[in-house]
Structure 1
Amino acid sequence: MDKLVYTAMTGARHILDQQATTSNNLANATTTGFRAQIDAFRAVPVVSEGLPTRTFVVADTVGADFRAGPIETTGRSLDVAIKGEGWLAVQSTDGSEAYTRNGSLKINENGMLQTSSGQMLQGENGPIAVPPNMDISISADGTVSGIDNGQTQPGPANVLGRIKLVNPPTSGLVRGDDGLFRQNSGEPAAADPNVRVAEGCLEGSNVNPVDAMVNMIALARSFDTQMSLLKNAENNAAKATQILALN
């Protein structure tokens, strides 16, 4: 009975954690470049002076599903999607380098190239500035070029910079509270010339809404099972107390 209480209690608590993760994934089913979060749990015996009859559930390594999402054509020149593996390098709010697959870009009021979330896009030589009255195009290797749209005759394209594209090992990436990924070593990743992008496209979320909904239903039933086990343990304890009282 003692083991039953520990197992059911900690199992129910972590099922709630899994429900929160699944709900977050489902809420981001339409978020550009989103990577689904994966939770892992394991049973651990309680170490004490008594017999090792009690176990409880603890959270294991929290990871992410790094499978690519669907590519959608938008036709917008500031939309880019990573082809295959790779990441866009951005500057997070704390100044550190972070990585995202969200290629929906914009030009801020200061003429700097940013993501739609407001992170400064990193170039191989620093942030990329875009002069006013420029038509922007982004090539497959991340080179950003601009043509002055104020001229009657189109002139040659001016290279404004090259987006820093990286491809660090996914085993060394961790997701931050801001949804961006970073290397667990804290060091910035080196630019990878093999990473390619597609202009006028965006990568969708890799969350499958149907799978997420089914998972939520399964977790709700598992939580009910854990609650039933706790109720059974309470009933067993009450019956045992009655028997001891008769003796």
Structure 2
Amino acid sequence: MDRLVYTAMTGAKHILEQQATTSHNLANVSTTGFRAQLDSFRAVPVLGDGLPTRAFVVDSTAGTDFSTGSMQVTGRELDVAVQGKGWLAVEKPDGSEVYTRHGSLKVSENGILQTQDGLNLVGDGGPITIPPEVSIEIAKDGTVSTIPMGTKPGAVQVIGRLKLVNPPEENLVRGEDGLFKTKDGTAVDADPVVTVAGGMLENSNVNVVESMVSMINLARSFELQMKLLQNAENNASKASQILTLS
């Protein structure tokens, strides 16, 4: 009887983990550039005496849905959306390079072009410094240009270019901070094919309807595992009564 208990227990445990992942996706449905997490499970037959009719649930490597989200027009000069495949390269405080699709940028108090989380954008020559009192324009190829503001605007000045990359998706892993990096932690070269659209942001690629349906299915599967545990308890109780009578 304990075999049924352990089999149902593993199923319930991993269903709860999948519910947590689905809940995390739903919580980030409005997060710019978010990539939905995917859970993958596989059944492993239980080896032992008797027929191989039982199976345990085992986690496979958690994956990521890299499909592109919808585009939202903002009109803000510091908003950029990567078109198609590709990533924006940013630098973490420890100097490592990571990648994001969150294109809502800002200028720090020191004039450095950063993400909303305060990470420096990587340019072709390092961090991109924005001079004061200028209007900023980001071209399709990631080139950052400025125009002095005032009654007599000056000429357009190119101050840098965003590092746009497109590493193989199977070589990317999600960090605990939600940013992606290569499996070996090394930086990748810029890809001239990757383009961005100014004044736009990419929405999350989480499908709300599919996620809600998945939550319902998972809840029903969890109830099924609980019923199996109750049946095992009832069978054990009946067996104890029979043994007591004998």
TM-score range normalised by the length of the shorter chain: over 0.9
| In 2: Cα distance, 1:243 partner to 1:93 partner | 68
- After the TM superposition, which residues 109-128 of structure 1 pair with which residues of structure 2 at under 5 Å, given as runs? 109-128=109-128
**1:46 deviation in Å?**
4.7
- 2:96 matches 1:96: yes
**1:155 deviation in Å?**
1.6
TM-score for the superposition, normalised by structure 1: 0.94
Question: Which residue type is aligned with residue 117 of structure 1?
Answer: D
**1:117 deviation in Å?**
1.9
- 2:165 matches 1:166: yes
Alignment correspondent of 1:23? 23
Q: 1:47 to 1:190 in 2, by over 3 A?
A: farther
Deviates more, 1:73-82 or 1:231-240: 231-240
Question: Which residue type is aligned with residue 112 of structure 1?
Answer: I
**1:243 deviation in Å?**
2.3
| In 2: Cα distance, 1:72 partner to 1:27 partner | 19
| In 2: Cα distance, 1:216 partner to 1:200 partner | 35
| In 2: Cα distance, 1:57 partner to 1:99 partner | 33
Q: Secondary structure at the match of 2:184?
A: coil
Alignment correspondent of 2:189? 190
- 2:1 matches 1:4: no
**1:53 deviation in Å?**
6.3
**1:45 deviation in Å?**
3.7
Unaligned runs of 5+ in 2: none
Alignment correspondent of 1:107? 107
Alignment correspondent of 1:146? 146
Alignment correspondent of 2:240? 241
- 2:39 matches 1:42: no
The structure 1 segments of at least 4 consecutive aligned residues displaced by more than 4 Å after TM superposition are 50-54
* RMSD over aligned Cα atoms: 1.6
Deviates more, 1:152-161 or 1:81-90: 152-161
Aligned length: 245
The percentage of counterpart residues that share the same residue type is: 64
| In 1: Cα distance, 2:182 partner to 2:163 partner | 15
Question: Which residue type is aligned with residue 215 of structure 1?
Answer: S
* Paired residues of 1:174 and 1:184 also in contact (CA < 8 A): yes
| In 1: Cα distance, 2:89 partner to 2:47 partner | 45
Q: Secondary structure at the match of 1:171?
A: helix
| In 2: Cα distance, 1:110 partner to 1:66 partner | 34
* Paired residues of 1:9 and 1:226 also in contact (CA < 8 A): yes
| In 2: Cα distance, 1:233 partner to 1:167 partner | 52
Question: Which residue type is aligned with residue 242 of structure 1?
Answer: Q
Q: Secondary structure at the match of 2:147?
A: strand
Unaligned runs of 5+ in 1: none
Question: Which residue type is aligned with residue 88 of structure 1?
Answer: L
**1:47 deviation in Å?**
5.7
Question: Which residue type is aligned with residue 9 of structure 2?
Answer: M
* Paired residues of 1:6 and 1:54 also in contact (CA < 8 A): no
Cα deviation code 1:107-150 (max 9, x no counterpart): 01110001112211111221101011111000000000111114
| In 2: Cα distance, 1:164 partner to 1:222 partner | 45
Question: Which residue type is aligned with residue 17 of structure 2?
Answer: D
* Paired residues of 1:71 and 1:202 also in contact (CA < 8 A): yes
**1:154 deviation in Å?**
2.1
* Paired residues of 1:34 and 1:206 also in contact (CA < 8 A): yes
Alignment correspondent of 2:80? 80
Question: Which residue type is aligned with residue 126 of structure 1?
Answer: G
| In 2: Cα distance, 1:10 partner to 1:58 partner | 8
* Paired residues of 1:80 and 1:198 also in contact (CA < 8 A): yes
Alignment correspondent of 2:137? 137
Q: 1:35 to 1:227 in 2, by over 3 A?
A: same
| In 2: Cα distance, 1:188 partner to 1:245 partner | 69
| In 2: Cα distance, 1:224 partner to 1:117 partner | 40
